Chains A and B, each alone.
Chain A
Amino acid sequence: MTGHTIDHLVATIAFIAAMFLFLGLFTQTLQGAVLYQQNRHVALKASDLLDNILLSPGYPYNWGETNTTLSCFGLQQPGTTGYTISSFALMRLTSLSGEPVEYPVGSGKWYSNVSLGPCGYLFLPLSDAINYETAAMLLGVNGTYGFQLSITPIVNVSISEYRTDPLILKVEVDGPGFPLGGANLGYYLYRTYKAGKYPNLELSTGTAQTDSAGVAYLNFPFDGAAETYCIVVHAGLGGLKGFGYYIHKAFTGSTGVIPFIVDYDEGKVYLAHDWDVQGEGGPPVPNYFYTAKFYVLTEEFEFQEWSIANSTGQINYGGGGGTFLYGETTLPVAHPGFLLVTYNDVAGGYGMSIMPWGVGSPLAASILFGGVPAGNVWVASDLRHVTVGQLSYQARILCWSLKGYQTRTPSGWR
């Protein structure tokens, strides 16, 4: 009798232990399979989203060139096929790369801030920009999937001062994987000079070629440390095209003149006094005399000056009390290019600022748009090569699920 009881007890305990053990093992396998299915679905969604965004112009088709309300989201250049992206649709996206800027300071008017290099600015009213929530809603993923889209130039042209007197500039050209050796370079150097009340620009152009390490040196017969200049370099090799710019300004007293796009539909741009943007420090602040010029890129890959209204003027600081002084000009809608502003203060210090007009413009700006993937367990990515304007870009998407099993990190399992 005792032997039977022990037999039953051992058998029952062993059976229950085995059941729990195998239940756990089977659950683990099933859990892995469920996560695989879920993540695979997110990865497919990433590819689908990227193609949906890049292969549709959206509606209205020319929404990038107006400030109309969108009813369908897409970035393809209207009238083209394939992965050709609209410069202006990209410009209307709310940037994730820079903190929004308030102008005039304290006014409550905020501008989307596309991060550029030194002295480069691209500020667009947030009210005219397409935000992430709107895009997600129009793409049908609002509340189910999150995404982040980055459109970056493939060809990175970086320019630095190698020597100042006489000036030698070092140009480095590379892509994501390798330096671009043997690339053909063309440069446009705009140098500020005094021309009466307002400063003016003197243009020098030339060509060069990078060595096997993707490096070239450009020589100029002036003292780079004492001069204010802007150089825009384009690089091309075998179908890859890119741009880069560099500004050196002798005037270091403050930021200087800052362009703001205030009416996207009409191309209206304010040239603002930095004191009215940053509101730091106090009087006396510089009184700027400026000359603004706009350049477009022709099909022959050359810059052509495009006449703009009120290209010269004076900007004093507003002095507070709700008074803000600015210059105003208008850029041609739907013509990518860049606005170059040179200015001097009454003491004769010269400075420069530059603003792209259209993302695929000669400044080759990058765009980061969408949500922030931090805190999500599984983020899928995909990429395509695209053409923006005449330049080569890479479009990369990050996509994650907002619903489902274990989509957030342990602090926020959902």
Chain B
Amino acid sequence: MLRTVEVIMVILILAGAFIAASLFAVLPSPRQISSPDLSQLGLTTLQMLDTDKDLTETVFKDPADPSWIDLEIVLSACLPPNIVHNLTVYDIVTLSDGTVSYQAANSITNSESGIGTDSEAASYLVTSTNVTFMVAPQKISGTLYILNCSDANGWWITGYTSQSLASDLYNLLSPYFQTTILVNSTYQLGLLLNGTALKGETLRDAVVINTFGEAVPIPAGYYTTQGYADGSYAKYAWILGQKVNSYNWTWVSIVGYPFYYVTNTVFFASTQNNWGIYGMRMVSEYGLGCFLRGLAGRSYSYSSQSTGSPGVVYLSSVALDRCNYYGIYPAPYQTSTRALPTSILSTYDLTPTELFYRVNNYIAGATYRHTGGGALTAIGLTRIPDIRVTVLALLMYYHPILYKSEFTLRAGERPTQRLVVLQLGQQGGS
């Protein structure tokens, strides 16, 4: 009997041990094992809603403003149905003794009965938009036209397509212009040359960037007829020069010999440029010569303009300074094989804004302003084009100011900050 009693005692001890172990080793509920990271979800929700500063604008508005209702709708819509939320906005107030206090300014929630204790919160600090640090470029008055004609071929833009160059130029330069328009066909280019705006924009004082390298798109019809003389389309370049002068445009050639070819894949479908590329016809050095005559307001004459090959050229100190100012960094030295001679300055009454130090009386890249109106930006570098050089040349010429911080507070006014706390709780289950 004694053994049985001993065994019963052992069982009691084991049972006690099990009960004690069960009491202390309590496993958490399944939800605690794997629940959505509500804190991160809350933070990413706030960040997403503030992508375009919509959240910032709302939290600084009066609690009676309808945008708070929109914010409530947005929170309800974007969070899963089983997640309840409470968004509270606090004013951050610095007292005279330096103590920072947080005073509730407004609160919205979709849970009448409270959010419970099993919740997580994310906080997000916003600064009112009138004190936001920003870099805003001064807008150049005038329209930026980028030639992106689908019915034209490029030359000396090896490794790129005109469309890809147009895309890069658009990204780099559109922040500096009031309006940027892609000219998608030679027909549209013809409209511009005829003085017709494509989208109601201002036509005068525009910048026209030719992304086709040494080739220039030519609209079929009037310009292929009137632009043809002496067995060449050099007269078209002369007409372009005239238009640039009369509209006060800046015509931009991104690489090589400007106006060396004309291109129209439909009109020149069976014509090649002497190098086997169809849709293009050679004009040679007469294109540049005639353009400069047109720019200078002179009558048409089938005349040529030579270029030189100074070799390696270096960005001037002014250009390097502009690189730092605008954050555009092409290689500081480049190879030039189509540089314009300095003699054109006096011959055609041009004033240059130069990118590179001169070599042997050659200007490798510059914007040439004619005293009577109109300008030509000619980047006489060898292929492959680096369009950052073109962008730098234009920014050097127009020199738009970068307003690096725009504080609109009045004197003595303190910057305003608010703390947004989004508390999320999960409903259902236990």
Contacts and interface: CB of A to CB of B under 8 A. Distances in A.
Interface of A: 3, 7-8, 10-12, 14-15, 18, 22, 25-26, 29, 32-33, 36, 39-40, 42-43, 46-47, 51, 82-84, 154-155, 174-182, 237-240, 304-309, 311, 330, 332-335, 378, 380-387, 390, 392, 394
B148 interface: yes
Interface stretch (B51-59, B268-276, B389-397): B51-59
* Category for how many chain B residues contact A: 35 or more
A40 B76 contact: no
Contact of A33 (B8, B25, B161): B25
B77 A174 contact: yes
A306 B7 CA distance: 89
Interface string B29-56: 0000111110011001101111110110
B318 to A, nearest CB: 28
Interface string B64-94: 0001011101101111110100000000000
B54 A33 contact: no
A307 to B, nearest CB: 3
A302 B95 CA distance: 46
Contacts of B141: none
B185 interface: yes
5 contacts: A11-B7, A39-B33, A181-B73, A304-B182, A383-B36
A388 to B, nearest CB: 10
Contact of A238 (B6, B8, B73): B73
A302 B80 CA distance: 30
Given A307-B149, A383-B36, A330 B163 contact: yes
A51 B83 CA distance: 21
Contact of B74 (A237, A308, A309, A330): A237
A381 B36 contact: yes
Contacts of A180: 73-74, 77
Contacts of B161: 330
Contacts of A176: 77-81
A29 B14 CA distance: 14
Contacts of B7: 10-12, 14-15, 18
Contact of A42 (B34, B37, B47, B71): B34
Given A47-B37, A238-B67, A309-B163, A15 B150 contact: no
Most chain B CB within a 10 A radius of its CB, from A11, A154, A334, A387: A11
B135 interface: no
B164 interface: yes
Nearest to B79: A177
Contact of B49 (A10, A33, A240): A240
A155 B28 CA distance: 35
A10 B3 CA distance: 8
B81 A385 contact: no
B133 interface: no
A26 B51 CA distance: 53
Most chain B CB within a 10 A radius of its CB, from A155, A238, A306, A332: A238
- Chain B binding site: helix, strand, loop or mixed by DSSP? helix
A311 B37 CA distance: 48
A146 to B, nearest CB: 15
Contacts of A381: 34, 36
B21 A29 contact: yes
A26 B21 contact: yes
A238 B164 contact: no
A14 to B, nearest CB: 5
B81 A332 contact: no
A308 B80 CA distance: 41
A7 B4 contact: yes
B148 A307 contact: yes
Nearest to A399: B34
B22 interface: yes
A411 to B, nearest CB: 23
B134 interface: no
Given A29-B21, A39-B34, A18 B11 contact: yes
A307 B33 contact: no
A182 B179 CA distance: 31
B1 A240 contact: no
B41 A177 contact: no
Nearest to B1: A7
B402 interface: no
A177 B73 contact: no
A380 B34 CA distance: 6
Closest 9 CB pairs of A and B: A175-B77, A307-B184, A239-B54, A239-B49, A11-B3, A43-B34, A178-B76, A238-B74, A385-B44
B27 interface: yes
A405 B239 CA distance: 82
A233 B63 CA distance: 31
A263 to B, nearest CB: 13
Contacts of B2: 7
Given A10-B4, A33-B27, A239 B74 contact: yes
A78 to B, nearest CB: 14
B222 interface: no
Nearest to A83: B44
Given A15-B10, A304-B182, A40 B78 contact: no
B148 A83 contact: no
Contacts of A46: 34
Contacts of A311: 150
A232 to B, nearest CB: 20
B70 A237 contact: yes
Contacts of A177: 76-81, 83
A3 B1 contact: yes
B18 interface: yes
A151 to B, nearest CB: 13
Contacts of B21: 26, 29
B150 A307 contact: yes
